[in-house]
């Protein structure tokens, strides 16, 4: 029998690079507060980078407000495979989709 259900969908919208010095070297690392928290909502100014001098950079600080009122969810946070591509993490928007699911008889 078919039943109605819903699924959560995350749509990638952009990448976020590490902060860098003028010569291109990294000036900060991913903040421990978001490490391992993929698909957890992040708010503007939540800590996302920790500079080598101990300064904390919040999400969206120093950049235009690209998200508007959309809720943002980081993922692939500090993944080694993306390091050389200049990606500290990716940002997704979350939405719900209604689907029909065929339920198997038990």
Supply the CATH number for residue 41's domain. 2.20.25.160
Query: Does residue 106 form part of some domain?
Result: no
Domain range for residue 81? 12-98
Query: Does residue 46 form part of some domain?
Result: yes
Residues of the chain with pLDDT under 70: 62-68, 106
**What is the pTM for the complete model shown?**
0.84
What total of structural domains would you count in the chain?
1
Query: Does residue 24 form part of some domain?
Result: yes
Query: Does residue 2 form part of some domain?
Result: no
Euclidean distance between CA atoms 76 and 88, whole angstroms: 8
pLDDT at 81: 92
Query: Does residue 35 form part of some domain?
Result: yes
Query: Does residue 67 form part of some domain?
Result: yes
Three-state DSSP at 37 gives coil
Q: Tokens for 103, please give them.
A: 């339920």
Query: Does residue 29 form part of some domain?
Result: yes
pLDDT at 56: 97
Contact between 11 and 92 under an 8 Å Cβ cutoff? The reply is yes
pLDDT at 64: 60
Query: Does residue 51 form part of some domain?
Result: yes
């Amino acid at each position: 029998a078919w039943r109605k259900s819903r699924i959560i969908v995350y749509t990638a919208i952009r990448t976020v690079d590490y902060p860098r010095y003028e010569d291109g070297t990294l000036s900060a690392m991913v903040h421990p507060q978001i490490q391992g928290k993929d698909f957890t909502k992040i708010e503007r100014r939540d800590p996302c980078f920790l500079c080598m001098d101990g300064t904390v950079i919040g999400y969206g600080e120093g950049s235009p407000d690209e998200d508007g009122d959309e809720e943002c969810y980081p993922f692939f946070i500090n993944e080694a495979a993306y390091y050389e591509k200049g990606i500290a993490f990716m940002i997704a928007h979350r939405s719900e989709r209604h689907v029909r699911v065929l339920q198997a008889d038990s």
